[in-house]
Amino acid sequence: MCGRFTQSFPSPEFLAQQFRLDDWPRELMQRYNLAPTQHVFAIVDREFLDGRVRRQLLFMKWGLVPFWAKGPAIGSMMINARAETLLEKPAFKRLVARQRCVIPADSFYEWQRPKEPLRIHLDERPAFGFAGLYDHWHAPNGDTWTSCTIITCAPNDFMAAIHRRMPVILDSAAVELWLDPTITESEVVTAVLRPTTDPMRAYRVHPEVGNVRNDTIEWSMEYHPS
């Protein structure tokens, strides 16, 4: 699974360049310990009535709340979606065609043992994108919630020594395909949902990264217990 990650990019402009964004906030808070039910930023390609497609950075709640949900609590149970069963699950199947997103990240966390969290990077990419799906839920008070889920797959060789699942990390070509709103064939888009082959590295971080309140850079630095 993917239960914690970071969006600690040096600047909004860096992110815009990495993902060829058309629209983005001019200020973004660096986040070193993002947790389920918190807001994350995600990328979508939106097709407008005049036929233009613009790549936008939007804020979404992490934990998918389907449009048909009776309430938002279900989101805490839908932070991840398994790539192998996307087309079998009612909450995800209809989103695959037209409501795909990319969640940018620069690392993610996984626990080898209860008190040994690891921070995991790609060796050659300072920013990368998780494959995701999103939906809109209309609250009784009239508010609209936009929420997302991160898709996971079987681990590559590196991650297999750490965990039995990993987030789907898209390469540049896969990002373009996954976001393209003109591609709606399920068999085409789901073909990119596979383990990354990029070189990866991991290092141990402080056990207190497990506390969601610890969201500053010192908790994500390499930790050497005495």
- Residues 64-94 have pLDDT tens digits of 999 999 999 999 999 999 999 999 999 999 9
Looking at residue 202, its amino acid is A
* 2 in catalytic set: yes
Tens digit of each residue's pLDDT (9 = 90 or more) over 61-72: 999 999 999 999
Mean pLDDT of 40-60: 90
Classified by CATH at the fold level, domain 5-220 comes out as hypothetical protein yedk fold (3.90.1680)
Would you place residue 117 in the very low, low, confident or very high pLDDT band (cuts 50, 70, 90)? Answer: very high
What per-residue confidence (pLDDT) applies to 52?
Answer: 87
Q: Distance between CA 141 and CA 137 in Å, rounded?
A: 11
Q: How many helices (H) and strands (E) does the chain have?
A: 6, 13
The yes-or-no verdict on residue 51 having pLDDT over 80 is no
What per-residue confidence (pLDDT) applies to 1?
Answer: 73
The yes-or-no verdict on residue 26 having pLDDT over 90 is no
Kindly report the CA angle at 128 between 124 and 133, in degrees rounded to 5? 155
Would you place residue 226 in the very low, low, confident or very high pLDDT band (cuts 50, 70, 90)? Answer: confident
CA distances from 196 to 38, 103, 122, 153, 154 (A): 26, 15, 10, 10, 10
The domains of the chain are located at 5-220
Mean pLDDT of 39-54: 89
Catalytic residue selected from 13, 47, 84, 110: 110
Mean pLDDT of 201-221: 95
Long-range contacts formed by 27-31: CB under 8 A, 24+ apart: 30/217, 31/6, 31/7, 31/215
Catalytic residue selected from 2, 101, 148, 153: 2
Mean pLDDT of 210-221: 95
What is the overall mean pLDDT for the chain? Answer: 94
What per-residue confidence (pLDDT) applies to 132?
Answer: 98
